[in-house]
């Protein structure tokens, strides 16, 4: 996987730069048709593959802290960072001041054009066999569907581009927005075209990992059908008056969104989800298991260095076996998003091989001394909200406010009385009294992905040992604007998702490895099916696909009695998805399609601990506080706006409502 598609894109860059012949040519630009040597892009197998890989180069990383998908309620960033998702959170993303990266034009349609240009020139690939050409055609059809889908779910009803449009074409040649349901059907038909061509494999490995497969296409199609069946697009869109002015969609006229609930959409979604799930299972995909994790734990030499968990000790003769397995499941959930296919992870159906930038933004300050009398440090910026902390279940698999065996709410911010060895540069006392009750007796996923005061970050991060956090110490991991400038934790929590358990820093450097980021993983396929069945009121089938996710995570299966009525069923699935897919770029779309954003994204809703204080005492720090940023929700935030110039130059387009 180290030499997978996304490394090969680098080679494609060099190839296309050579084709441009001038140093100022941007390899992401569509190769202009008037370029005399365009046929050189297919002069041999290597250049043809380079041309093909350039079509993949528009695949965005929604898990990046700079991506607009950060604009939800999972975590906040330091206010001075000013990235796209923050401007969305603050309702400051406008047609005249686009801060979201303008993926509509800068990315999606740009690469749709690249794909069509590749298809147009494919006949010149003289060294490619007919079988290879058929596969390349199917791959670019997959990408055309994917880029349209990414536009649709972010911007709403969008333009369908079904062929290459010349740069010199008049404005009238560009289509306007088509009806949401019409675009969904068109995208699904494009995925089907790629699937039914018979040219795509079900899985890929080695150098081909990351290129289109039939399972990827079916999984994306299933995701889109679930989105289309969700309240936002199934009868509850808040702007019934929003219609096209000039452009008409065949069969829909100027209407852009259907305003009547259609239960059949959930059945269509269920069928698509079932097809994707069965295809993935048949291709060998499966949930990463405890057995898989134990093999990796042994390989990484962590069998005797399992994660610290408050109030659990594997040396306790009464609970030793149970507690050891609990800690193994903590590592299991870390490995889910930090291992490769060749390391035994068959869960990731599609991913980005390069881990991107979110990890350095998540790491704390002062990790380990370096050889320059300073520190190896992260930005300490990805700060989970207290709201998301509460999504994670107790060790009994229940919400923190609904588990009678958990601490009463008025005790959550008191010391849990935990103890255990402290690692790194902090005091080596055996007390862990800084850990509050809200952070004790929680489920394994909480300890896998969340870091908190008095707890550990990583497994070997401090030169082979975990790093014990002291988030109240302004000289180490805590808030200190003078020492750390604008890079400070905002909520008293940090995210350690995507940190490979064996990663560590030492005086001389680090062993931080690039690991794949999951664009689609098997757990989502389970949760998609559970969501379909919950919305159809089928409790037995909901549990069939919900419980494997819970049991893999180390919490008890739900019973039908616990699942409750249909509304409660849906809520269970939504919360499970929020936990399992935490910080994977999906929550942005989920809170919108579920239409929960007005309740979760508005002013005064996001909470944290009182962490932006220099050297606070225990009580001051552990006080629930409203996060001091100008968060705001307006219904226009359901969609990203079109860039003002795009609407001005094309009379076919209408702006998103509310802008």
* pLDDT value of position 27: 27
Q: What is the mean pLDDT of residues 104-111?
A: 94
Cβ count within 10 A of residue 26: 10
What pLDDT shows up at residue 317? 53
Is pLDDT above 50 for 399?
yes
pLDDT digits (tens, 9 = 90+) for 232-278: 999 999 999 999 999 999 999 999 999 999 999 999 999 999 999 99
Compute the average pLDDT of residues 325-337: 97
CA distance 54 to 22: 18
DSSP string, 84-141: HHHHHHTT--BTTB--S--HIIIIIHHHHHHHHHHHHHGGG-TTS-HHHHHHHHHHHH
Q: Which of 300, 325, 330 is nearest to 314 (CA)?
A: 325
Is residue 180 within 8 Å of 638, Cβ to Cβ?
A: no
- Count Cβ atoms below 10 Å from residue 621 Cβ, excluding itself: 22
Model confidence band, residue 359 (pLDDT cutoffs 50, 70, 90): confident
Question: What count of other Cβ atoms lies within 10 Å of the Cβ of residue 596?
Answer: 15
Six-digit token string for 600: 């979760």
Bridge partners, 149 (sequence order): none
Q: Share the mean pLDDT of the chain.
A: 91
> Where does the pLDDT of residue 595 fall: very low under 50, low under 70, confident under 90, or very high at 90 and above?
very high
Per the model's pLDDT, the better-predicted residue between 422 and 430 turns out to be 422
Distances (CA, A) of 104 to 23, 101, 485: 26, 9, 34
**Pick from 520, 434, 640: nearest CA to 191:** 520
Q: What pLDDT, in 10s, does the model give residues 304-328?
A: 889 999 998 765 555 555 589 999 9
What torsion, rounded to 10 degrees, do the Cα atoms 145, 151, 152, 154 define? Answer: 140
pLDDT at residue 321 in the model? 52
Query: Is-contact 8 53, C-beta < 8 A?
Result: yes
> Given 3-state DSSP classes, what are the helix, strand and coil percentages for the chain, each rounded to the nearest 5?
45, 10, 50
pLDDT digits (tens, 9 = 90+) for 536-574: 999 999 999 999 999 999 999 999 999 999 999 999 999
What per-residue confidence (pLDDT) applies to 33? Answer: 36
Split at pLDDT 50, 70, 90, the class of 20 is: very low
Domains and CATH numbers, the chain: 5-71+98-288+643-649 (1.25.40), 300-338+357-513 (no CATH)
Residue appearing with tokens 């003078």:
482
Confidence class of residue 37 from pLDDT cuts 50, 70 and 90?
low
pLDDT tens digit sequence for 167-205: 777 777 789 999 999 999 999 999 999 999 999 999 999
Q: How confident is the model at residue 431 (pLDDT cuts 50, 70, 90)?
A: confident
Surface-to-core class of residue 283, CB atoms within 10 Å of its CB (0-12 exposed, 13-18 middle, 19+ buried): middle
Query: What are the angstrom distances between the C-alpha of 584 and each of 63, 69, 652?
Result: 5, 9, 35
How many Cα atoms occupy the beta-carbon half-sphere of 326 within 13 Å? 23
| Residue 425 pLDDT | 62
Q: Identify the pLDDT of residue 602.
A: 96
Whether residue 653 is predicted with pLDDT greater than 90 in this model: the reply is yes
Average the pLDDT over 364-375 and give the result: 94
Please state the rounded mean pLDDT for residues 629-644: 97
Q: What is the dihedral of CA 381, 210, 547, 304, to 10 degrees?
A: -60
């Amino acid at each position: 996987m180290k030499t997978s598609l996304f490394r090969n894109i680098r080679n494609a860059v060099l190839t296309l730069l050579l084709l441009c012949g001038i140093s100022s040519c941007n390899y992401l630009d569509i190769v202009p048709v008037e370029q005399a040597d365009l046929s050189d892009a297919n002069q041999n197998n290597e250049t043809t593959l380079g041309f093909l890989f350039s079509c993949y180069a528009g695949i965005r990383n929604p898990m990046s802290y700079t991506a607009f998908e950060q604009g939800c309620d999972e975590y906040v960033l330091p206010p001075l960072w000013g990235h796209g998702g923050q401007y969305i959170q603050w309702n400051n993303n406008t047609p005249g001041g686009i801060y979201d990266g303008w993926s509509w034009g800068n990315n999606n349609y740009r690469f749709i054009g690249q794909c069509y240009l590749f298809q147009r020139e494919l006949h010149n690939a003289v060294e490619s066999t007919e079988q290879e050409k058929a596969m390349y055609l199917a791959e670019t059809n997959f990408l055309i569907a994917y880029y349209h889908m990414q536009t649709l779910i972010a911007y709403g009803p969008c333009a369908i581009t079904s062929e290459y449009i010349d740069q010199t074409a008049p404005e009238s040649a560009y289509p306007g927005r088509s009806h949401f349901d019409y675009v969904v059907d068109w995208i699904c038909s494009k995925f089907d075209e790629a699937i039914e061509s018979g040219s795509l494999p079900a899985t890929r490995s080695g150098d081909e990992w990351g290129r289109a497969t039939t399972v990827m296409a079916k999984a994306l199609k299933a995701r889109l059908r679930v989105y289309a069946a969700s309240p936002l697009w199934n009868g509850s869109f808040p702007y019934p008056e929003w219609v096209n002015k000039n452009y008409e969609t065949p069969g829909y006229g100027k209407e852009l969104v259907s305003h009547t609930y259609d239960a059949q959409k959930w059945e269509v979604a269920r069928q698509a989800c079932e097809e994707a799930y069965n295809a993935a299972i048949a291709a060998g995909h499966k949930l990463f298991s405890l057995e898989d994790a134990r093999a990796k734990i042994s390989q990484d030499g962590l069998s005797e260095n399992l994660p610290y968990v408050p109030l659990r000790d594997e040396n306790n003769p009464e609970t030793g076996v149970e507690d050891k397995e609990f800690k193994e499941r903590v590592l299991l959930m870390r490995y889910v998003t930090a291992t490769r296919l060749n390391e035994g992870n068959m869960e990731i159906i599609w991913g980005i091989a390069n881990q991107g930038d979110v990890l350095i933004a998540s790491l704390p300050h002062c990790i380990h001394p370096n050889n320059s009398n300073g520190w190896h440090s992260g930005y300490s910026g990805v700060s989970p909200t207290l709201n998301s902390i509460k999504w994670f279940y107790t060790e009994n698999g229940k919400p923190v406010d609904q588990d009678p065996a958990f601490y009463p709410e008025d005790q959550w911010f008191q010391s849990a009385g935990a103890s255990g060895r402290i690692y790194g540069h902090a005091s080596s006392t055996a007390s862990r009294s800084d850990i509050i009750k809200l952070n004790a007796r929680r489920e394994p996923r909480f300890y896998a992905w969340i870091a908190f005061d008095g707890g550990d970050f990583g497994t070997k991060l401090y030169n082979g040992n975990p790093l014990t956090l002291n988030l109240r110490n302004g000289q180490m991991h805590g808030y200190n604007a003078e020492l750390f400038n604008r890079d400070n934790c905002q909520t008293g929590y940090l995210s350690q998702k995507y940190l490979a358990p064996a990663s560590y820093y030492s005086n001389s450097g680090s062993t931080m490895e690039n690991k794949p980021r999951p664009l689609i993983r098997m757990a989502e396929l389970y949760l998609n099916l559970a969501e379909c069945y919950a919305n159809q009121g089928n409790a037995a089938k909901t549990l069939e696909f919900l419980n494997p996710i819970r049991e893999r995570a180390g919490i008890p299966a739900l019973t039908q009695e616990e699942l409750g009525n249909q509304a409660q069923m849906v809520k269970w699935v939504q919360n499970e998805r929020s936990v399992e897919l935490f910080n994977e770029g999906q929550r942005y779309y989920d809170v919108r399609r579920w239409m929960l954003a007005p309740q979760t994204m508005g002013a005064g809703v996001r909470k944290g601990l009182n962490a932006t204080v220099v050297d606070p005492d225990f009580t001051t720090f552990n006080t629930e506080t409203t996060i001091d940023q100008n968060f705001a929700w307006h219904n226009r935030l359901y969609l990203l706006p079109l860039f003002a110039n795009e609407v001005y130059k094309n009379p076919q387009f209408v702006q998103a409502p509310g802008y």
